[in-house]
Amino acid sequence: MDRTEEYLESLLPSSPSWAEEMEKFAKDHQIPIMEPLGIQYLMQLIRVTRPRRILEIGAAIGYSALRMLEAYPMAEIVTVERDAVRFSQAETNLEKLDEHNHIALMYGDALELQEQISQKGPYDVLFIDAAKGQYQKFFESYAPMVTEKGIIVSDNVLFKGFVAGRNDNPRMQKIGNKIRKYNEWLIEHPDYHTSIIPIGDGIALTVKR
């Protein structure tokens, strides 16, 4: 972490106790959740846009969905998770905070659930934070369900420096190469404007032209 990032993190507000517990659990069990600066940026986007409905691809343990709801409690969130263990952990976390009325947790592969997810839409925010090699497919499947003035957020688009050529881990570099192709495809897409924000692990913010 460089000094600028350290400084910015020092300015962040404290997380609620439930969020701190989830952050510790994720760290202890090596479960990837959004980095502190990234989640605060996402929460600010939610506060500004005040979306009626949010679709999240990649629930993990439910952390980001709960933080987005914290940012705007009037939102309805649909979040999808295909890993059985993480789905169960997310379910437990939602039950603990009694947020099933606002967050619909769906089990399965998002690329196989388009019909069910479509029935709950349209969506004002699409948040993509799942299998990195599938980002383009997720985008192509779900961007059409986003409202005309909605936003699409893709997390991890800088992927720990591997998109920029860091090459000290061949497996990670392979994933980084896929994300790099996604970034290029997204930036060049004729129907969307995209900016990549170098915060957290890199966030792409996309809107319709």
Q: What is the mean pLDDT of the chain?
A: 94
Contacts of residue 179, defined as CB under 8 A and 6 or more positions apart, other chains included, come to: 132, 135, 156, 157, 159, 162, 163
34 is in an annotated binding site: yes
| Dihedral of alpha carbons 111, 187, 36, 151, sign | negative
65 is in an annotated binding site: no
Question: CB neighbours (10 Å) of residue 99?
Answer: 18
Q: Is the pLDDT of residue 1 over 70?
A: no
Boundaries of every domain in the chain: 3-208
Architecture of 3-208 per CATH?
3-Layer(aba) Sandwich (3.40)
Provide mean pLDDT across the span 57-78: 97
Q: Is the pLDDT of residue 108 over 70?
A: yes
Q: At 123, is the pLDDT very low, low, confident or very high (cuts 50, 70, 90)?
A: very high
* Structure confidence at residue 78 (pLDDT): 98
The pTM of the whole model exceeds 0.85 = yes
Q: Looking at the DSSP assignment, which residues form a beta bridge with residue 152?
A: 126, 206
Q: Is 156 annotated as a binding residue?
A: yes
**Would you say 168 is a known binding-site residue?**
no
Residue 42 has pLDDT above 70, yes or no: yes
- pLDDT, tens digit, 9 for 90 and up, residues 133-166: 999 999 999 999 999 999 999 999 999 888 887 7
Over pLDDT 70: what percentage of the chain?
100
- Residue 129 in marked binding region: yes
Determine whether the annotation assigns residue 188 to a binding site.
no
